[in-house]
Amino acid sequence: MIETKAAVGRPVPRREGGDKVTGRARYTDDLVVPGAWYGKTIRSTIPRGSVRSITFDPAFDWPKVVVVTAQDIPGDNVVQLIRDDQPALSAGEIRHREEPILLIAAADRDTVAAAQRAIRIEYDALEPVFDIEQATETYSTIEISKGEVDEVFEGLEGVEVIERTFKVGLQEQLYIEPQGAIAIPEPGGGIKVIGSLQCPYYVHRALKRALALTDEQAVVIQAETGGGFGGKEEYPSIVAIHAALLARKAGRPVRLIYDRHEDLAATTKRHPGVIRHRTAVRRDGTLVAQDIEIVLDGGAYCTLTPVVLSRAAIHAAGPYACPNVRIRARAVATNTPPNGAFRGFGAPQSLFAAELMVEHVAERLGVPSLELRKKWMLRLGDTTATGQQLTESVSSDLVVAAALKAAPPIRPSAHPTVRRGRGLSLVYHGSGFTGSGEKKLGGKVAVEAAADGTFTILTASTEIGQGTKTIFTQIAADALGVPLDRVTVGPQDTSLVPDSGPTVASRTAMIVGGLIHEAAEELRDRLAKRRKPRLPLRVDKSYVQPDTIHWDDQTYQGDAYPVYAWACTIVDVEVDMLTGEVHVTDLVSAVDCGKAIHPVMAEGQIEGGMLQAVGWATIEEIKMKDGGYQNDRLATYLIPTALDAPRIKTILVENPYSGGPFGAKGIGELPMDGPAPAIIAAIHDATGVWLDEVPATPEKVLAACNSR
Amino acid sequence: MQFTLNGATVSVDVVGTRRLLDVLREDLRVTGAKEGCGEGECGACSVLIDGAVVNSCLVAVGQIGGCSVVTVEGLALQDGKPSPLQQAFIERGAAQCGICTPGMLLAAHALLNANPRPTEDEVRVGLAGNLCRCTGYTKIIDAVLACRM
């Protein structure tokens, strides 16, 4: 046998890195499809009401154009997800601005634009609902209960009660490649869709349902994808259905590529919300009770909102051990465009409030907040709000110590009108699907050995920049005991690979990587048998939940996640007291990822997530007007540039998890959780004012400073 | 109309008001420049025109007759191997999803040509017109700094 050097733990070259730096990588809009027409979605201009009439200007040459309405949908007029509430095209009712009503396609873009101008839609408007406190429809509610919360707040002597309300804003994922799909009619009534997406099988299910296709007739292929961050979890199903409807009616391929303006105006955002905390502590700092209420705005359709709410609720108490906890969470419907998946998935919202609550309690008691954190934080053997006992890979102490050690010395401000401040946060984030989610999903992979000594990993997990293809080959190569270059990852094509579940929820490395590890080990053992098996030989694996994990969906009690990843983040800010501008100058984060399969990529993913969180906390504000986003262009929706970004220092802490491949835990979402509360604490350190909301825009910072 | 693209002379018969980005991608099938916003904010469509970094979504092709245009496809060495800058991007994790990478590489290339030993702050200024949502910029900046003369 050839002696091989372990691939896991080494920064091996990114699989598709060569293609990406030379321009060879082909993203959706780079693909040449002969004869393809250009598609466009015609959307509502009111937030609520119904379509009274659609007029097609008789002066326009309509035979040049294909028009699709709700009547052209051969299957169910539904975007398949959790609830069947969202139509692929409006059948008359309008629940939000930018709701798709019609689809058009033509041979060139000028004709499409001219046709769009020749369509007139009139509406009967209804009074929209934008205020979550006045919303009447609820998507879901969750109650988590531990101990006796009411008794604590009603009875105990010698307890301080601190109450605060926190607000979090909308945020756009802002992947740099906008949404897009190309649909190609296939012989036999099938349709192939190639697109920019995270979850090929979500799109597959949605296509089958709306276009009444069989498993084989619907084929979904992921093109190279220019970022997702959750934004390409559920929304690509809509793009794919639309492209497929146009292609079906036109009888030819159709490209449906969004421009940035349409992408910003129409696609899902991070759920905004309000979180109220009531905390009871003894004067010695002992945490006695937490009473938490969460309200998230789901927007006009359900999308993934109940699952987002679930993750928000489970993380709401923060990484702290408290004997009495009550978390009441609800998500409501309004008439804004639907909100959906975005890295962190509710946890950044609820952890923002939980972390700032530590600051407020510390201030009331007159003790350093770090001291309270160290007193309260979950350690091995402690139980969470859902009653989950943490039995391994608990890293609160490790990450706090590592971050403190790496933090730069505190510098004085160099300018009389600029004040500096420092803030710290401690967060944890559950890896993988919640509760019994992975069991229900039953993700599948296969590893195949070919006669020429090479191996192929068959999985629907997608590469969206986070390094899936590279880490999967590292895991498989080491499990097989072969050099890295003998292993490749097959294409993310639903006609070729099994459903590994979606590429979401910090589950790819830990859950799907774990399945690949199992499959590769079994393949190695079978190949090592004295009686050589016939090649090619394929080993399939499906997820089986360890019987140590217990979860009750009804009571929300039990093991919410197989394990948690941990992070302690320290930020330094400069606040310009004349303009209110907040500049994050330094950011240090110690992150326990269990085991870094690829340390450079792990750092890179953490750094990118941190900056996304810095954007959410400081400059990424969406202004609403009449149910639409006012700043729906990249000229007005700002994200951090290289000049805005701090130097980010990442410390990888490796506290292995026995259930993950080589000890790895999921960390894709974790970096989104920590920076926002640390930044608000740093602004307080600099200015003496508490904002209790993000984004901390210059206007809000100035107003808070002036009203002191 | 004629211009030089990645060292070779190309002729195109197109309306002069069309965007250089579209002519490159659709007529010449050179797709390294990407459309991220179409209004000059993101830099994903960056190309070099006579050595300067330009957003090709804001340039009418009629403006560039006789100019030298370089896209990411023109950055590799003569033997087709990645340039040291491209190699540094791979090794140091500067490319994640890769959609900003072509523009980022061209901005970095132009910066290093103009200033072979930039400081970190100068690198940040040089890349400020190119948005990246994956990396937090730290690894991109480190890759550029590693290629100082």
Q: What are phi and psi of A586, to 5 degrees?
A: -140, 145
Instruction: Considering only the beta carbons, identify the residue of B32, B93, B140 that sits closest to A23.
Output: B32
Q: In what order do the strands lie in the sheet with A49-56?
A: A93-94, A49-56, A119-125
Amino acid identity at A384 = T
Q: Above 0.95 for ipTM, yes or no?
A: yes
The answer to whether A69 and A242 are in contact (CB under 8 A) is no
Structure tokens at A75: 């299957």
Distances from the Cα of A119 to the Cαs of A65, A299, B110, in angstroms? 12, 27, 46
Q: For residue A362, what pLDDT is reported?
A: 98
Statement: residue B149 has pLDDT above 90: no
The answer to whether A385 and A321 are in contact (CB under 8 A) is no
The answer to whether A37 and A508 are in contact (CB under 8 A) is no
Q: Kindly report the CA angle at A151 between A147 and A157, in degrees rounded to 5?
A: 115
DSSP annotation of B142 reads H
Distance CA B66, CA B48 (A): 14
Mutation site for B-interface testing, chosen from A12, A14, A22 by largest number of B Cβ within 10 Å: A22
Statement: residue A300 has pLDDT above 50: yes
Chain B residue numbers with beta carbons less than 8 Å from the beta carbon of A261 are 38
Mean residue pLDDT across chain A: 97
- Search chain A and give the residue with CA nearest B99: A226
pLDDT category of residue B79 using cuts at 50, 70 and 90? confident
Amino acid identity at A108 = D
Chain A residue numbers with beta carbons less than 8 Å from the beta carbon of B92 are 600
Chain B residue numbers with beta carbons less than 8 Å from the beta carbon of A465 are 96-98, 134
| DSSP strand pairing (A66-68 vs A100-106) | antiparallel
3-state SS, one letter per residue, for A427-459: EEEECCCCCCHHHHHCCEEEEEECCCCCEEEEC
Asked if A175's CB is within 8 angstroms of B99's CB, the reply is yes
Asked if A224's CB is within 8 angstroms of B134's CB, the reply is no
| C-alpha dihedral sign at B78, B62, A257, A271 | positive
Q: Which of residues 444-483 of A touch B (CB under 8 A)?
A: 464-467
Please tell me the distance in Å from A487's CA to the nearest CA on chain B. Answer: 19
| DSSP strand pairing (A537-542 vs B68-70) | unpaired
Give the length of chain A.
708
The answer to whether A266 and A90 are in contact (CB under 8 A) is no
Asked if B123's CB is within 8 angstroms of A226's CB, the reply is no
Distance CA A461, CA A499 (A): 8
Q: For residue A584, what pLDDT is reported?
A: 98
Give the length of chain B.
149
Which of A647, A597, A653, A271 minimizes the C-alpha distance to A466? Answer: A597
Burial state string for A519-554 with b = 16 or more CB within 10 A and e = fewer than 16: bbbebbeebeeeeeeeeebebebebebeeebebeee
Asked if B132's CB is within 8 angstroms of A23's CB, the reply is no
pTM exceeds cut of 0.90: yes
Instruction: Considering only the beta carbons, identify the residue of A13, A227, A633 that sits closest to B133.
Output: A227
**CA A71 from centre of chain:** 33
Chain B residue numbers with beta carbons less than 8 Å from the beta carbon of A178 are 35-36
Per residue in A118-141, pLDDT (tens digit) is: 999 999 999 999 999 999 999 999
Distance CA A614, CA A630 (A): 22
- Search chain A and give the residue with CA nearest B130: A641
Please tell me the distance in Å from B65's CA to the nearest CA on chain A. Answer: 24
Q: In what order do the strands lie in the sheet with A254-257?
A: A66-68, A100-106, A37-43, A254-257, A180-185, A191-195, A218-222
Distance CA A37, CA A397 (A): 58
Distances from the Cα of A545 to the Cαs of A314, A442, A659, in angstroms? 20, 9, 10
Q: What are phi and psi of A3, to 5 degrees?
A: -75, 125
With both helix axes pointing from N to C terminus, report the angle between A396-406 and A369-376 in degrees, rounded to the nearest 10.
150
Please tell me the distance in Å from B109's CA to the nearest CA on chain A. Answer: 12
Mutation site for A-interface testing, chosen from B79, B133, B141 by largest number of A Cβ within 10 Å: B133
Structure tokens at B144: 């550029």
Structure tokens at A674: 């920590």
Chain A residue numbers with beta carbons less than 8 Å from the beta carbon of B93 are 11, 14, 600-601, 603-604
Please tell me the distance in Å from A24's CA to the nearest CA on chain B. Answer: 7
Q: What is the mean pLDDT of residues A515-539?
A: 96
Kind and range of the H or E run holding B70: strand B68-70
- Search chain B and give the residue with CA nearest A179: B36
- Search chain A and give the residue with CA nearest B106: A21
| C-alpha dihedral sign at A58, A59, A65, A67 | negative
**Whole-number percent of chain A with pLDDT over 70:** 99
**Whole-number percent of chain A with pLDDT over 90:** 97
Structure tokens at A700: 């809000």
Per residue in A398-421, pLDDT (tens digit) is: 999 999 999 999 999 999 999 999
Asked if B71's CB is within 8 angstroms of A17's CB, the reply is no
Q: What are phi and psi of A146, to 5 degrees?
A: -140, 130
Q: Is B7 exposed, middle or buried (CB count within 10 Å of its CB: 0-12, 13-18, 19+)? A: exposed
Distance CA A245, CA A238 (A): 11
Chain B residue numbers with beta carbons less than 8 Å from the beta carbon of A174 are 133
Amino acid identity at A263 = D
Amino acid identity at A360 = H
* Residue A108 contacts B where some CB pair is shorter than 8 Å: no
The answer to whether A38 and A504 are in contact (CB under 8 A) is no
Distance CA B122, CA B145 (A): 10
Per residue in A44-72, pLDDT (tens digit) is: 999 999 999 999 999 999 999 999 999 99
Q: Kindly report the CA angle at A597 between A592 and A598, in degrees rounded to 5?
A: 100
The residues with which A326 forms a beta bridge, in sequence order, are A145, A291
3-state SS, one letter per residue, for A282-328: ECCCCEEEEEEEEEEEEECCCCCHHHHHHHHHHHCCCCECCCEEEEE
Phi/psi region, residue A453 (left: phi>0; alpha: psi -120 to 50; beta: rest), is: left
SS3 A142: strand
Instruction: Considering only the beta carbons, identify the residue of A22, A467, A648 that sits closest to B138.
Output: A648
Please tell me the distance in Å from A70's CA to the nearest CA on chain B. Answer: 30
- The structure tokens 């979606």 sit at A502
Asked if A22's CB is within 8 angstroms of B133's CB, the reply is no
Asked if B75's CB is within 8 angstroms of A22's CB, the reply is yes
Statement: residue A2 has pLDDT above 60: no
DSSP annotation of B25 reads I
Statement: residue B89 has pLDDT above 60: yes
The answer to whether A328 and A141 are in contact (CB under 8 A) is yes
Q: Which of residues 575-604 of A touch B (CB under 8 A)?
A: 600-601, 603-604
- The structure tokens 């901390």 sit at A696
Per residue in A308-333, pLDDT (tens digit) is: 999 999 999 999 999 999 999 999 99
Q: Which of residues 646-675 of A touch B (CB under 8 A)?
A: 647-648
Statement: residue A3 has pLDDT above 80: no
Q: For residue A1, what pLDDT is reported?
A: 45
Instruction: Considering only the beta carbons, identify the residue of A226, A229, A467 that sits closest to B99.
Output: A226
Per residue in A658-703, pLDDT (tens digit) is: 999 999 999 999 999 999 999 999 999 999 999 999 999 999 999 9
Asked if B137's CB is within 8 angstroms of A611's CB, the reply is yes
Asked if B90's CB is within 8 angstroms of A13's CB, the reply is yes
Please tell me the distance in Å from A32's CA to the nearest CA on chain B. Answer: 8
Q: Which of residues 16-45 of A touch B (CB under 8 A)?
A: 16-23, 25-27, 29-30, 32
* Residue A175 contacts B where some CB pair is shorter than 8 Å: yes
Tally Cβ neighbours within 10 Å of residue A92: 12
Q: For residue A4, what pLDDT is reported?
A: 57
The answer to whether A654 and A594 are in contact (CB under 8 A) is yes
